[in-house]
């Protein structure tokens, strides 16, 4: 696990977030890091991935981040060309600060949102209020944006239930938590049930939205790339991600629900992309139906195992790319991968048949 | 830094897990507002150095973990040994302490043009070309100067002492009150 993953794991283990969601979150974090890294190769942003992870775990200051990234960009032959000195120039302080701050705030916003939408939190504090948290020289007119996107003002305050789609609609990134735009300086704070009732904020029935407001960390993850979707660079991304990436013009979209769609049969099969040893791997609905389902939930009867959850399957691509351990057993690969919930995922891959088995065991002394 | 709450026995009929997470949310939100308001009150220094945004960053790291028995543990910040990380910085401001440099000196920006920039990032530690480092005789502090503009950019000091400031966090009474108010929200 990376340093940032360890911190997130610790936060999850001691939080109110159900353990069945931990591995989905781990999968999201891995996928995001990998997505950013591969996209970076095309855009010269690769240098920033580990630096951002380091800074998120508190080991690198913003100044050190900028210095390290500039050195790597210079080493990689980066040239801003006609954008030199502008906000599009990756060497400038303004651009690097924007990347650093947006990444940091997005990760923090996600964890804060998870904490704010537990059962108890939603029962006592069912709404958010959008407030200015940092001054800006030229602040955007958020009350106007709020109303344009369909939000209602209550005594002039921008308040809506935490599960209301307004939060996604006001976001440039399509996410229901801050940051809602680059350098916006806005943040969300909880509003109590009694205050909502006093202001006339319509609230969902208690319990009706449990779990529905916690999106995947990679919902709406996308990147605009300076390449055509039929270019060699786009092919390299497809090789790396398999079917998890979809191009729409020069915008690469992350298909965060792909694995779940295969499990449900909505999608027949999906390529997981290039693995740890350069080989490709696919998962199909038939493999799940014929071989893997016996380890899911109540169907798991082997006492040595922990029943698989939805989140465990979401970790398959990350596990295939970067397993914790690999053993060769009778010409088959036995991959192991440590999870946030204290388990070890085991994936058996046959060179001809592909996935043969997938199950989870306990780590002695794990979380 | 830990803060523990207990719920009066009258409330033991409630779902403990739900009550715990409601209370945790109340405390988390209150501490985040406290840090955010502190950040909004920050003004540029006398030398024109703009606020660093430290308290807003700290607000993004607040975590409150509810535990069995209706207890809550507050933490703020990354888990790092570096005093520049918001979590360590919050503790430093709350308890007070002295920061020592990793190398020779701590560099404090005294010119707005280098706010948030370390001398190493600017390449100002080589003591040649664009920048020069000098230490006045018999002085405990030195400076880094921009040779072209003739301006002093950073003050170099051997250590910095931060005095304890209990107002960094809300009081225990305030936190207990907001935690209890969350219980009332789900009990009513």
Tens digits of residue pLDDT in A158-215? 999 999 999 989 988 778 899 998 889 999 999 999 999 999 999 887 655 444 445 5
pLDDT of residue A156: 96
Residue A79 has pLDDT above 80, yes or no: no
Which tokens hold the place of A181? 């735009």
Tens digits of residue pLDDT in B66-76? 765 555 566 66
CB contact A235 to B (< 8 Å): no
CB contact A120 to B (< 8 Å): yes
Name which of A3-17, A43-57, A258-272, A285-299 the model is least confident about. A3-17
Q: B181 contacts in A (CB within 8 Å)?
A: 192
Is the alpha carbon torsion for A308, A313, A315, A321 positive or negative? positive
Which tokens hold the place of B166? 């209990």
CB contact A2 to B (< 8 Å): no
What is the arithmetic mean of pLDDT over B108-112? 92
Q: Give B106's pLDDT tier (boundaries 50, 70, 90).
A: very high
* Most confidently predicted of A131-145, A208-222, A351-365: A131-145
| Euclidean distance between CA atoms B4 and B11, whole angstroms | 17
* Most confidently predicted of A251-255, A312-316, A337-341: A312-316
Strand partners, A332: A329
pLDDT of residue B52: 85
Contact between A58 and B87 using a beta-carbon 8 Å cutoff:
yes
What is the arithmetic mean of pLDDT over B157-173? 92
Environment class of A210 (CB within 10 Å of its CB; exposed 0-12, middle 13-18, buried 19+): middle
| Euclidean distance between CA atoms A155 and B29, whole angstroms | 21
Closest CA in chain B for residue A189: B29
Q: Which has the closest alpha carbon to A111: B99, B62, B115?
A: B62
Nearest chain A CA: its distance from B73 CA (Å): 9
Contact between A115 and B24 using a beta-carbon 8 Å cutoff:
yes
Q: A63 contacts in B (CB within 8 Å)?
A: 116-118, 120-121
What number is the ipTM of this complex? 0.84
Contact between B116 and A62 using a beta-carbon 8 Å cutoff:
yes
Where helices occur in chain B by DSSP H, the ranges are 16-41, 54-59, 86-95, 119-122, 172-187
pLDDT of residue A17: 52
CB B130 within 8 A of CB B147: yes
Nearest chain B CA: its distance from A332 CA (Å): 40
Strand partners, A348: A334, A357
CB contact A128 to B (< 8 Å): no
What is the arithmetic mean of pLDDT over B41-68? 84
What is the DSSP code string of B59-88? HTTEEEEEETTTEEEEEES-S-S-TTSHHH
Tens digits of residue pLDDT in B75-88? 665 444 444 445 56
CB contact B16 to A (< 8 Å): no
What is the arithmetic mean of pLDDT over B100-121? 89
Work out the mean pLDDT of chain A and round it to a whole number: 79
**Residues composing chain A:** 367
CB contact A136 to B (< 8 Å): no
pTM above 0.80, yes or no: no
Contact between A187 and B24 using a beta-carbon 8 Å cutoff:
no
pLDDT of residue A367: 38
Number of helices followed by number of strands (H, E) in chain A: 14, 14
Nearest chain B CA: its distance from A3 CA (Å): 10
pLDDT of residue A206: 61
Q: Give A91's pLDDT tier (boundaries 50, 70, 90).
A: confident
CB contact B44 to A (< 8 Å): no
CB contact A56 to B (< 8 Å): yes
More confident residue, B1 or B162: B162
CB contact B32 to A (< 8 Å): yes
Name which of A70-74, A242-246, B63-67, B147-151 the model is least confident about. B63-67
Which tokens hold the place of B17? 């897990």
Closest CA in chain A for residue B15: A120
| Euclidean distance between CA atoms A158 and A143, whole angstroms | 7
Environment class of B68 (CB within 10 Å of its CB; exposed 0-12, middle 13-18, buried 19+): exposed
Q: Give B65's pLDDT tier (boundaries 50, 70, 90).
A: confident
Q: Which has the closest alpha carbon to B27: A157, A195, A190?
A: A190
**A50 phi, psi to nearest 5 deg:** -70, -30
Q: A67 contacts in B (CB within 8 Å)?
A: 118, 120-121
pLDDT of residue A105: 84
């Amino acid at each position: 696990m990376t340093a940032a993953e360890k911190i997130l794991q610790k936060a999850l283990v001691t939080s109110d977030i159900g353990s069945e969601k931990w591995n989905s979150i781990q999968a999201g974090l891995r996928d995001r890091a990998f997505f950013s890294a591969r996209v970076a190769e095309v855009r010269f942003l690769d240098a920033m991935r580990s630096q951002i992870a380091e800074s998120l775990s508190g080991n690198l200051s913003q100044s050190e981040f900028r210095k390290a990234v500039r050195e790597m960009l210079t080493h990689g032959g980066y040239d801003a060309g006609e954008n030199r000195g502008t906000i599009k120039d990756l060497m400038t302080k303004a651009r690097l600060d924007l990347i650093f701050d947006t990444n940091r705030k997005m990760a923090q916003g996600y964890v804060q949102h998870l904490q704010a939408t537990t059962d108890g939190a939603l029962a006592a504090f069912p709404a958010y209020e959008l407030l200015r948290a940092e001054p800006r020289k030229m602040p955007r007119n958020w009350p106007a944006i709020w109303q344009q996107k369909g939000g209602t003002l209550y005594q002039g305050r921008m308040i809506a239930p935490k599960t209301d789609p307004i939060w996604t609609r006001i976001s440039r990134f399509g996410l229901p938590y801050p940051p809602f735009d680059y350098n916006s300086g806005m943040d969300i704070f909880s509003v109590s049930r009694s205050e909502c009732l006093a202001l006339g904020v319509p609230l969902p029935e208690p319990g009706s939205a449990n779990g529905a407001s916690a999106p995947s960390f990679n919902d709406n993850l996308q990147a605009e790339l300076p390449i055509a979707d039929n270019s060699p660079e786009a092919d390299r991304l497809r090789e790396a991600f398999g079917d998890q990436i979809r191009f729409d013009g020069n915008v690469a979209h992350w298909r965060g629900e792909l694995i779940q769609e295969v499990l449900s049969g909505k999608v027949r099969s999906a390529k997981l992309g290039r693995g740890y040893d350069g080989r490709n791997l696919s998962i199909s609905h038939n493999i799940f139906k014929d071989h893997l389902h016996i380890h899911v939930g109540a169907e798991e009867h082997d006492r040595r195992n922990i029943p698989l959850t939805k989140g465990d399957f979401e970790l398959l691509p990350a596990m295939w790319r970067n397993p914790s351990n690999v053993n060769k057993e009778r010409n088959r690969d036995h991959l192991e991968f440590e999870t946030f919930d204290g388990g070890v995922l085991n994936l058996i891959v046959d060179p001809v048949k592909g996935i043969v088995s997938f199950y989870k065991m306990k780590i002695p002394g794990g979380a | 830094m830990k803060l523990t709450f207990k719920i009066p026995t009258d409330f033991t009929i409630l779902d403990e897990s739900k009550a715990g997470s409601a209370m945790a949310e109340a405390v988390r939100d209150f501490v985040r507002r406290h840090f955010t308001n502190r950040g909004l009150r920050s003004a540029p220094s006398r030398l024109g150095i703009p606020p660093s945004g430290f308290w807003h960053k700290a607000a993004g790291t607040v975590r409150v973990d509810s535990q069995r028995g209706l207890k809550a543990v507050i933490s703020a910040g990354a888990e790092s040994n570096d005093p520049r990380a918001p979590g360590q910085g919050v503790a430093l401001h709350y308890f007070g302490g002295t920061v020592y440099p990793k190398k020779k000196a701590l560099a404090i920006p005294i010119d707005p043009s280098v706010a948030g920039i370390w001398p190493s990032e600017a390449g100002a530690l080589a003591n040649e070309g664009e920048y020069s480092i000098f230490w006045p005789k018999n002085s405990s502090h030195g400076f880094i100067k921009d040779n072209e503009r003739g301006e002093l950019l950073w003050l170099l000091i051997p250590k910095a002492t931060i005095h304890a400031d209990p107002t960094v966090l809300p009081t225990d009474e305030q936190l207990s009150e907001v935690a209890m108010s969350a219980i009332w929200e789900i009990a009513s």
